[in-house]
Homo-oligomer: A and B are copies of this chain.
Amino acid sequence: MVRMTTRTSRTGRRADALSKERIVAAAIEILDADGESALTFRALAARLATGSGAIYWHVANKGELLAAACDDVVARAMAPAGRSTRPSDAVRNAALGVFDAIDAHPWVGTQLIAEPWQPAVVDIFERLGAPLEELGVPASGQFDAASALLSHLLGLAGQYAAGARLLPPDADRSDFLRDVAERWASLDPEEHPFVHRMAARLPRHDDRAQFLAGIDLFLAGVAGAADPAA
C-alpha cells in the first residue's frame, strides 16, 4: 500500500526536519529583519542549514512561499476581532488590523497587491464587506463599496511597502517625510498649487490616522448612499 500523498508529516522523522511551516517561518524572519530584497533561496537555505533543492521539495516556487508567508501574517492580524461591535467599527477594526500588520511587515503590502487573488485578500474582502449588509447598504451597492474599501487598503499597502523598500533598514521616517515635503514645497505653485500647499502638512501627518480618516470618508459616503433621506 503506497502512500501517494506528499504532505504526510510522519511521526518519526528527525527533529530538525524541514517542513513548509519551518521554511515559511524562516522566510518571515528574513523578510522582517532585512527586507524584501534579502529573501533569496540561498539566504533561506543558509539560515536553514540546507540547500535550495531541499526547499523546493516543500515549496513550489518563490511566489508560493511569499503567499504562504503573507497568509500567515494576515491570518494572525485578522484573528482578534470581536463581533460585538457596531458594523462601522467592524469595518474600521478589520482595516486597522491589516494596516497594523502591514506597518509591522511592509513586505506584506507588496505581496497583497502583487497577487490580489490569494486567500489573504479574499479574507480581507470578506471582513470589509460583511458588515455592509448591517450598515443598510443595498445589495446592489455592496460589491462596489467593498471593492472600493479593498482598493483603498491595497493602495495604502502598496505605498507603505514602497516606502519600506526605499528606506534601507529602518531609518528615521521623519527625515524621509521632511525630504518629500521639501521637494513638494519646491514645486511651482502655479502648476501644483495643491501639492505645494500640502507640503506644509506633510511633516506632521500620521499615517495611521490618515488611513482611518480615509476609511471614515468611505463610511460616510456609504451611510449617505444607504439612507439618503435620513
- Give A residues with C-beta under 8 Å from B: 113-117, 122-123, 125-126, 129-130, 132-133, 139, 141-148, 150-159, 162-163, 166, 180, 184, 187, 191-195, 197-198, 201-202, 205, 210-211, 213-214, 216-225
Question: What residues of B have a CB within 8 angstroms of the CB of A115 in the complex?
Answer: 162
Main secondary structure of the interface of A (DSSP, over half): helix
A214 to B130, Cβ gap below 8 A?
Answer: no
Supply 25 A–B pairs (Cβ within 8 Å), ascending by A: A113-B158, A117-B166, A122-B187, A122-B192, A125-B195, A129-B195, A129-B198, A142-B197, A142-B198, A143-B198, A143-B205, A144-B217, A146-B194, A146-B198, A148-B210, A148-B213, A148-B217, A148-B218, A151-B214, A155-B155, A155-B158, A218-B221, A220-B220, A220-B221, A221-B224
Nearest 8 pairs between A and B by C-beta? A155-B155, A148-B214, A221-B221, A151-B155, A220-B221, A113-B158, A154-B155, A217-B221
